[in-house]
Structure formats: C-alpha cells, structure tokens
A and B are shown apart, each in its own frame.
Chain A
Amino acid sequence: MSALTTENLSLSRGGKRVLSDITTTFQPGQITAIVGPNGAGKSSLLMACAGLLHAEAGRVQLAGEPISSYPHKERAKALGYLPQSGEIAWDVTVEALVALGRMPHGDARSDQGKQAINTAITALDCDTLRHRRAHQLSGGEQGRVLLARVLAGEPQFILADEPLAALDLSHQMNLVAHFKACAARGMGVIMVLHDLALAMNHADRVLVLDEGRVASDGAPQTALSAQVIADVWNVEAQWTGEQYAKALIISN
C-alpha cells in the first residue's frame, strides 16, 4: 500500500481561497481525522485528495504519481469517497446499492465482484438488510450501507466526509469500529470530523485546519492540545479522563 500525499496544495472555490499551501502525508493502515472550524477547508481537502477538485497550485499524489494523471477508473479503484450528503435518489435495494462499489472494477456480476460485495455487506452487519429498500432504512442503517458501498470497491484509501455526523452514539461507535477494522486490514482511513472527542479517542493522527492552512498535525494528544483548541476555535477547554476515553470540558 502506498501513501497519499499533498504537496503545497492550494485551491479556490467560488473565487475564494479555501486551501493554502497544504503539505501532508496520509498513511495506509492509519485513521487520520481532519478537524477544524466551519469553513476551515476540511471538505475541500478531502475532495481534492479524492481527485474531485483540481489544485490551483501544488499537487496530490498517490504512490508518487499525481492523481490527476490517473485514469478515472484507476483513481476510483484506489480512492473510495463517501460524501457527506448521504443522497440515495432512487429506492433501490441495499444489495444493488452496495454493488455500485464495484463499478470502477466493472465486475459486480463476476465471482470476485460478488465476493467483495458480500464481504462488505457482512463487515457492516448489513446481511439482514440485503433485500430491503434504501428509503426504508433508518439513518444509521443508511450510513452503514453507504460505507459498505465504498468498502465493496476494496480501495486503498477511504475518504469519508463527516460519516458520523447524523448518527446516534451507538451507531457512531459501531461505524468507528468498522473504520478501525478497515485500518487494521491496511486501508488508509481519512475522516472529516466535527466532534473533537471522537478524533482524540479514535484517530491515530489528527490534522487541524484553520482558514485553509494546517494549524497542527500529529498524534491526537499533541495536535489537539488545549493550546491548539484555544488558538483555532477560540475556546478555553481541557481534556479529562484516560487515554482513548477522554472528554473535553469547556471552561468559558
């Protein structure tokens, strides 16, 4: 597995500079959380890494090659992107929806494709949902099914934009466990998160963005220190509790 890197990446959207000079490396087998205030450029960075936004300056590389040079399908095989919207336009079955994950491979009906689809469905506890229709599922079930779609493509990296935002606590923990399992299998997981406690307790590494720039980058304990939170969010706060079970206490 190869690293996904950005090198002096800058880009604008709607005439506004949203990312400035971002240089970072995402490693396979690791969960990286991208956090930051609203408008910090988190989703833009994720989309640029997925090859969906083009760099104004600098570049995004996978295995040392610019992703803009990858054919569409090859890029799609390597990078599984899970958008924030969670849109499912038509009331298709769960099985058909997950099978879309094999589209870049073009083998949803082959033995190999079917096996990948079944593995993804089982990994996300969707076996009982297999023949249900997407619009009949709860928000948590839809979240799992959409992630199963990405997993079915067996990508090297999963890039998920706020995958936990609409979920209750139990479904959040459930999905986090699945992301950890993916990382344990060698996939790189890059998640945009708003909940700093989730990032602190479950990410291997945290990248903090502020106004399109990297404010801090590293292990959660250092990247999300009280000082960084004060500088970036302008909030006085302290972490309490044990490692992997920390809570953020706001003091102002």
Chain B
Amino acid sequence: MMAIAMRTNLVLAALLAVLVPLSLLAGRVWIDPFHVSEAGTNAALILMELRLPRAILAVTIGAGLGAAGAAMQGFLRNPLADPGLFGIAPMAALGAVTWLWFGAAFPLAFAAFGLPLVALVGAALGMTLLAAIAGRTASGVGGGIALFTLAGLMIASLAGALTALAITLSPNAFAMSQIVLWLNGALTDRSWNEVWLAGPLTLAGIAVLAFASRALDALTLGDDAARSMGVDPSRLLLLLVIGVGLTVGAGVAVAGIIGFVGLIVPHLVRPLTDRMPSNLILPSALAGGALVLVADCAVRILPLVTELRLGIALSLIGAPFFLWLLIRMRRGQL
C-alpha cells in the first residue's frame, strides 16, 4: 500500500522537477537554456521576474485545486465532486468581486490583502453552506450524495448569478471588463507578490486536508461505519471547510476561477494509487500542479492574437472530460 503511494509521489515529483525548468523556457519569447547569460539582462529578467513566479504560482494553484478536489471526492464519496462545480470557487469569486466593488471604501493599507481575504472567506462560506445544508442530518456527515450535489450546484448557481449581477451593475465599462477577465482565470502578469500570498495559504490548506485524510478513508464504508470507527463528523467538516477554503480561496484570489482541475486530476491519479482517499491527496496536489503548469505553458505559446485565458482553456478540456466520466459512470465503469 505504502509502496504504491510512495512510488506515485516520487514519479509525480520528478515530473514536476522536469516540467518547471522546461516551462521557464517556453513562451512568446523562447529562451535558449545554454545561452541565457549571453542573451543579456532581458532574458534573465523574463526568467526571474515573469516566468519563475508564474510557474511557481501555476504549480501552487494546481496543487491546491487538485488536493481540494481529491478531498471533496473522498468526503462526498462522489467521483464527480469538484470545488468549482460545487460552488466553492464561485463563492470565492463572488467574495473577490464584492471586494472589487466595495474595496475602495477601505483604507489603502487593506487593499493588498483585502481581496485575498474576502476570497478565502467566500470559499470557506461556500463550504460551510454546503456542509450546513447537506451535512446536517440525524445520521451524521454527508447527508446523502444527491442532496450534497444539488446543494453544491445551487450554491454555484447563486454565486454565479450574484457575480453576474455585480458585473452588470459595475460602475464603468473598464471595471466590468476587468472583472470578467479576472473571472476567466489567468496567470498573466503575476509577480512574486502573488506567490508569497498564495503559496503559504495553499500549503497550509493542503496540510489541513492531508491531516483530515485518514477520516476520509473511514468514510469509504459509509457515514455510520465511519462514525463507529471514531470519526468525529463535526471535526471532519471543520477541517474540510478550512482546508478547501484555504486552497481554493487562495487560488481564486490570485488567479480567478480555474475550473475542473479538482475534478480531472484525482481521476487521472486514482489508478496510480491504492484508491484510498488519504493516499490521493498528495499525488493529486503534485499532478494538479503539473496540469496547470502545462496548461499555462500551452496558452502562452498558442499562436493567437491575445493569450487564451487559462480558466477558459481548462474548461474547454474539463467539460468534455466531465461528460466522458458521466458516460463511463452510466456504463458502470466508474
């Protein structure tokens, strides 16, 4: 059991170790790794101030979303669960958009951490709402997959509608386009500031989810069996609210909505593990980082007039993948 988990983690970590340096070279301006010093300060500047923080941010956000998706799937015992589909990321985005509206009312000193803070609060609020609506049943955690799924979809829908309302009522066209662009998710023009903001929060979130993961293993046998094995449902819910809130909130705060990573990644990784939820969190984090990094490189080098938004690119891959999962599920292959 341990050997499989260890091997998968090592392979994925090695993959990341190869992908990160490669990603630094790719872009509109390709950098020759053997002649960086000759290329002058511009190449060094692109590497250190643009591509390196962007690569680290891609890995960070992907890791957070992958881990959050794996934890949510384990908690709901539902292979279709995803922080975006179930309203967590849309709630974080709603929080952030609310800040874009009302943030100006606060002193400038709050500006730097105001938006991330409300995004985190939004994500945690989304997870709490989901837990409160669908988790509060006599028999304990979970409260039924159908109830949870519907509650998640409704929260996502409501958050989306309120965000659309905020956009419609935005004070000027520039603000409107800024909000829309930001919502579509991207890592363009991000700096070390965003890395220092999202990195520690995401790491803390992944640590919380990893800490909760043994209880997720027990949920494999159902709510009642898990409670009989000593799982405290309210404690587990709290850990998930904090873990998912931190990882998804931090990601949305610095890069907008990047959907489907939490759905796709655990599926790709699960066959490489023993399928226990606890052994899926870390590999999903590593593979999520790799997926977002590769996707971000792809949108960077695609020969389009303007750069394709990362969030849109991943949705273009993710939505058909979701449909394919549904077909497999219907055939009983999942």
Contact A80–B228 (Cβ < 8 Å): yes
Residues of chain B in range 214-233 having any CB-CB distance to chain A below 8 Å:
214, 217-222, 224-225, 227-232
Is B222 a contact partner of A87 (Cβ separation < 8 A)? yes
B275 A91 Cβ-Cβ under 8 A:
yes
Q: Is chain B's binding surface mostly helix, strand, loop or mixed?
A: loop
- Asked if residues B221 and A52 are in contact (CB atoms below 8 Å), the reply is no
Task: Please tell me if the beta carbons of B228 and A88 are within 8 angstroms of each other in the complex.
Answer: no
In whole Å, how far is B70's beta carbon from the nearest beta carbon of chain A?
11
CB distance from B325 to the nearest CB of A (A): 15
Q: A72 to chain B: which residues have CB within 8 Å?
A: 230-232
In whole angstroms, how far apart are the Cα atoms of A90 and B276 in the complex?
A: 7
Residues of A within 8 Å of B220, CB to CB, are 88-90, 92, 97, 100
The answer to the question of A93 belonging to the interface, with a C-beta cut-off of 8 Å to chain B, is yes
Give the interface residue-count category, chain A: 35 or more
Could you tell me the dominant secondary structure of chain A's interface residues?
mixed
B277 touches A (CB below 8 Å): yes
Q: Is the CB of A85 within 8 A of B222?
A: yes
The docked-state distance in angstroms from the alpha carbon of A96 to that of B219 is: 13
| Contact A103-B275, Cβ < 8 Å, known A83-B224, A89-B77, A96-B1 | no
Contacts of B224 in A (CB 8 A): 47, 52, 81, 83, 85
A89-B77, A93-B1, A96-B1 given; A149·B221 CB < 8 A: yes
Closest B residue to A81 by CB, please name it: B228
Is A185 interfacial (CB 8 A cutoff)?
Answer: no
Q: Is A103 a contact partner of B138 (Cβ separation < 8 A)? A: no
Q: What does the 1/0 interface line of B221-258 toward A look like (CB < 8 Å)?
A: 11011011111100000000000000000000000000
Which residues 64-88 of A sit at the B interface, judged by CB distance below 8 A? 72-73, 75-77, 79-83, 85, 87-88
Residue pair A103, B228 in contact (C-beta under 8 Å):
no
Q: Least Cβ distance of B280 to chain A in Å?
A: 9
Chain B residues lying within 8 Å of A73, measured Cβ to Cβ, are 230
Considering only residues 85-125 of chain A, those with a C-beta below 8 Å from chain B are 85, 87-93, 95-97, 99-101, 103-104, 109
- B residues engaging A (CB < 8 A)? 1-2, 77, 138-140, 214, 217-222, 224-225, 227-232, 274-277
